[in-house]
């Protein structure tokens, strides 16, 4: 059944309810001429006359009475369904499907979800972390996060903050093995390499050289396909690692990690939030997007400036010399 047929049936029921086609048209948000045309098309489609009409009055035919008795419960049920959907759009309670990358992203996403659930206890978050880039529509995503962004039809993307790849090590490692003074020195050190979870391939480190980001293979003394284990390996002093600022920033600021070769930090990609049209979203989805943008757009929580990185590296060298 088409939308036009449904609207014509609703117009017929309203005309009987109000005793006036003009009032029915007003209730349906349409002109009297459009309402009359819709009713005529319905009668033509059914092959019977439903109403006797004059300029002042309308009256049901026998066929109209039978059709009304059959159609009225369905029309009422449809109106209730429409009201429920419209009310649900403005409610904060309900499911919220969020997707994001598995690697490195938990420190960013969980504080958002935790805060939002405390503000809106009726929300039922369904959080899916996967480094695979899925289909936004097929996966029924409300809000997504990506490192880098590939445009999809019907998706709005908003940049939040740059992703920095920072070479760093724990003070314990530097006390034992010393500092690399150039990228070439990395071949003399124990390096941790990340193995792509899907392909199993060891990923080269991204470093900036003369303003351009290049890929550099490192000899892995340790490798893993889990970003949290990689961070723990570096924190424990087992190896030097190239860590995302999402994972490394708090450890650098606390002194648990020392950034190295800070002139080579790669920052050519960014973190994005993506979502569908805001006008069609439930209020809980709009509210979560607003929270994410408010907390993360141009945030310095996870981003270290060149000055901050340089100072942290200098302080780390100084502290090791004094030990």
* pLDDT tens-digit map of 218-233: 989 999 999 899 999 9
Report the SS3 class of residue 49: coil
66 and 115 in a single domain? The answer is no
Phi, psi of 128 (to 5 degrees): -125, 115
Q: Which of 58, 89, 120 is the last residue of a domain?
A: 89
CB distance 207 to 214 below 8 Å? yes
212 and 265 in a single domain? The answer is yes
Using the predicted structure, report yes or no on whether residue 61 has a pLDDT greater than 60. yes
73 and 154 in a single domain? The answer is no
Give the tens place of pLDDT for each residue, 103-120: 788 889 999 999 999 999
Separation of alpha carbons 313 and 280, rounded Å: 48
157 and 117 in a single domain? The answer is yes
For tokens 């503000």, what's the residue?
Answer: 119
Give residue 28's pLDDT: 77
CB distance 319 to 174 below 8 Å? no
Q: For residue 43, what pLDDT band results from cuts at 50, 70 and 90?
A: confident
Percent of the chain with pLDDT strictly greater than 90: 50
Structure tokens at 63: 């066929």
Give the tens place of pLDDT for each residue, 241-298: 999 999 999 999 999 999 999 999 999 999 999 988 766 788 899 999 999 999 999 9
73 and 149 in a single domain? The answer is no
Report the SS3 class of residue 37: helix
Give residue 37's pLDDT: 86
82 and 136 in a single domain? The answer is no
222 and 83 in a single domain? The answer is no
Report the SS3 class of residue 174: helix
CB distance 35 to 24 below 8 Å? yes
Using the predicted structure, report yes or no on whether residue 320 has a pLDDT greater than 70. yes
Q: For residue 47, what pLDDT band results from cuts at 50, 70 and 90?
A: confident
pTM to 2 decimal places: 0.70
HEC readout, 56-111: CCEEECHHHHHHHHHHHHHHHHHHHHHHHHHHHHCCCCEEEEEEECCCCCHHHHHH
235 and 140 in a single domain? The answer is yes
For residues 166-183, b (16+ Cβ closer than 10 Å) or e, as one string? bbbbbbebbeeeebbeeb
Using the predicted structure, report yes or no on whether residue 136 has a pLDDT greater than 70. no
**What mean pLDDT comes out for the span 292-320?**
94
Number of separate domains in the chain: 2
Q: For residue 88, what pLDDT band results from cuts at 50, 70 and 90?
A: low
* CATH code where residue 309 lies: 3.40.190.290
Separation of alpha carbons 10 and 24, rounded Å: 9
Q: Which of 44, 72, 89 is the last residue of a domain?
A: 89
**What mean pLDDT comes out for the span 60-73?**
80
153 and 263 in a single domain? The answer is yes
Quote the mean pLDDT of the chain: 86
Give residue 82's pLDDT: 61
Q: Which of 51, 69, 89 is the last residue of a domain?
A: 89
190 and 59 in a single domain? The answer is no
* CATH code where residue 24 lies: 1.10.10.10
Give residue 1's pLDDT: 53
195 and 263 in a single domain? The answer is yes
Boundaries of domain holding 302: 94-323
Residue 203: exposure state from Cβ atoms within 10 A (0-12, 13-18, ≥19):
middle
243 and 277 in a single domain? The answer is yes
């Amino acid at each position: 059944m088409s939308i036009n047929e449904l609207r014509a049936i609703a117009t017929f029921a309203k005309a009987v309810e109000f005793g006036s086609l003009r009032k029915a048209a007003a209730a349906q948000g349409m002109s009297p001429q459009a309402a009359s045309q819709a009713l005529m098309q319905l009668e033509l489609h059914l092959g019977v006359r439903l109403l006797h009409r004059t300029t002042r009055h309308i009256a049901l035919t026998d066929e109209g009475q039978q059709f009304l008795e059959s159609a009225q419960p369905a029309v009422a049920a449809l109106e209730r369904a429409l009201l429920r959907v419209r009310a649900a759009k403005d409610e904060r309670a309900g499911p919220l499907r969020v997707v994001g990358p598995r690697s490195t992203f938990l420190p960013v996403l969980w504080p958002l979800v935790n805060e939002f659930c405390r503000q809106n206890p009726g929300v039922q978050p369904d959080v899916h972390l996967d480094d695979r880039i899925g289909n936004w529509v097929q996966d029924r995503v409300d809000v997504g996060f990506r490192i880098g962004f590939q445009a999809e039809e019907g998706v709005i993307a908003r940049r939040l903050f740059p992703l920095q790849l920072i070479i760093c090590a724990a003070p314990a490692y530097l006390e034992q093995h010393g500092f690399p003074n150039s990228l070439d020195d990395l071949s003399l050190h124990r390096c941790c390499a990340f193995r792509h979870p899907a392909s199993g391939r060891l990923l080269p480190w991204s470093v900036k050289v003369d303003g351009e980001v290049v890929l550099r293979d490192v000899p892995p003394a340790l490798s893993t396909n889990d970003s949290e284990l990689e961070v723990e390996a570096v924190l424990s002093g087992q190896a030097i690692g190239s860590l995302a600022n999402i994972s490394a920033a708090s450890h650098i600021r606390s002194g648990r990690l020392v950034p190295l070769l800070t002139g080579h930090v790669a920052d050519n990609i960014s973190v994005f939030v993506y979502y569908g049209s805001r006008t069609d979203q439930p209020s809980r989805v709009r509210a979560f997007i607003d929270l994410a943008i408010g907390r993360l757009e141009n945030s310095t929580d996870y981003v270290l400036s060149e000055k901050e990185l340089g100072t942290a590296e200098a302080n780390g060298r100084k502290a090791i010399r004094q030990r």
